[in-house]
Amino acid sequence: MGFMPGCSLPSYTPEGVKKTMEYLKQIYPDLGGVQKCCGKGTKALGQEEKFKERFAGLQKDIDDVGIETMIVACQNCYKTIKETSDHTDVESLWTLLPKIGLPEEVRGKAKDSDVVFGIHDSCSTRYEKEIQDGIRWIMSELGYRVEETEHSRENARCCGFGGMIVPANPDLATRVMKRRADDFESDHVVVYCAACRSSMMKVGKKAFHILDLLWGPVVYNEEPAPEDVLSSPAKSWINRYKSKHAVRQVVKA
């Protein structure tokens, strides 16, 4: 068993990475860890050769530390490993949590929250019903209320970040983000990808990563959402660095 935070999640929340791994470690004491990019971005640009090279690097890291099943919290990592690796199994954190349960202290913690969350499903896993079920299960375990929309689950629409279009066609990307935001009636949106969170924040939604809800304070209507860290490259890289240490620290503890 191992955990891999990916790119956008560790850049957003070292704290979330740490707490998640600590909980996993309780259940799987031999938990290993790898922090590296899965290469999805390289692949998305169309750099086939470079992607193969980079994924091989990741695969080597995974093999080096003897991880047979990799737990991931990013839908792109999930898809990339699933489609590319011939011997590493991949499990989404969102399907694993319903199996192992949530820590006692978080269950029902948000039952008094006045927030109704719209759920932004990731378009990259539009056909992974189990992942989508897992998210709803976690929300209900925590005690949050959610609202489904016409564009839930397999009808999910892109947050605007996909396909590396932000740098290529920024005006279009903003329109895609706005359109996605308009799919939700509620101001509050829960996401399970840190890049999606950043997109929704850019167009004025109060977006929360589900790990914010899992490990952070209970959210009420009046309070602001956490800062859009990914919009600042400097902060993101510092976080990524912090996350790297969190991975080491938790695994070795």
Q: How near is the Cβ of 208 to other proteins at its closest, in Å?
A: 22
157: contact with other proteins by CB under 8 A: yes
Query: What are the residues facing 188 on neighbouring strands?
Result: 206
Query: What are the residues facing 25 on neighbouring strands?
Result: none
Q: How near is the Cβ of 5 to other proteins at its closest, in Å?
A: 10
4, 200 contact by CB (below 8 A): no
54: contact with other proteins by CB under 8 A: yes
14: contact with other proteins by CB under 8 A: no
192 to each of 24, 65, 131, how far by Cα in Å?
18, 27, 10
> d(Cα 210, Cα 123) in Å, to the nearest integer?
16
In the complex with other proteins, which residue's Cβ is closer, 196 or 211? 196
Among 137, 132, 116, smallest CA distance to 188 is for: 116
**Interface with other proteins (CB under 8 A), residue from 17, 37, 70, 71:** 37
In the complex with other proteins, which residue's Cβ is closer, 107 or 175? 175
Task: Spell out a b/e string for 48-84, using b for 16 or more CB atoms within 10 Å of the CB, else e.
Answer: eeebeebbeebbeebeeeebeebbbbbbbbbbbbbeb
Look up tokens 């925590």; give the residue: 142
**Interface with other proteins (CB under 8 A), residue from 98, 143, 163, 226:** 163
> d(Cα 205, Cα 190) in Å, to the nearest integer?
10
Q: How near is the Cβ of 93 to other proteins at its closest, in Å?
A: 17
118: contact with other proteins by CB under 8 A: no
In the complex with other proteins, which residue's Cβ is closer, 146 or 165? 165
Nearest-10 Cα torsion for 185, 163, 13, 231: -80
**Interface with other proteins (CB under 8 A), residue from 15, 22, 41, 133:** 41
Cα three-residue angle 91-236-134, rounded to 5 degrees: 25
Q: How near is the Cβ of 61 to other proteins at its closest, in Å?
A: 4
231: contact with other proteins by CB under 8 A: no
**Interface with other proteins (CB under 8 A), residue from 26, 140, 155, 221:** 155
192, 210 contact by CB (below 8 A): yes
215 to each of 20, 102, 189, how far by Cα in Å?
8, 11, 17
30: contact with other proteins by CB under 8 A: yes
Q: How near is the Cβ of 29 to other proteins at its closest, in Å?
A: 7
220: contact with other proteins by CB under 8 A: no
Positions in the binding site for other proteins (CB under 8 A): 1-2, 7, 28-37, 41-42, 44-50, 54, 57, 61-62, 64-67, 123-124, 126, 154-158, 160-170, 172, 175-176, 179, 233, 237, 240-241, 244, 247-248, 251-252
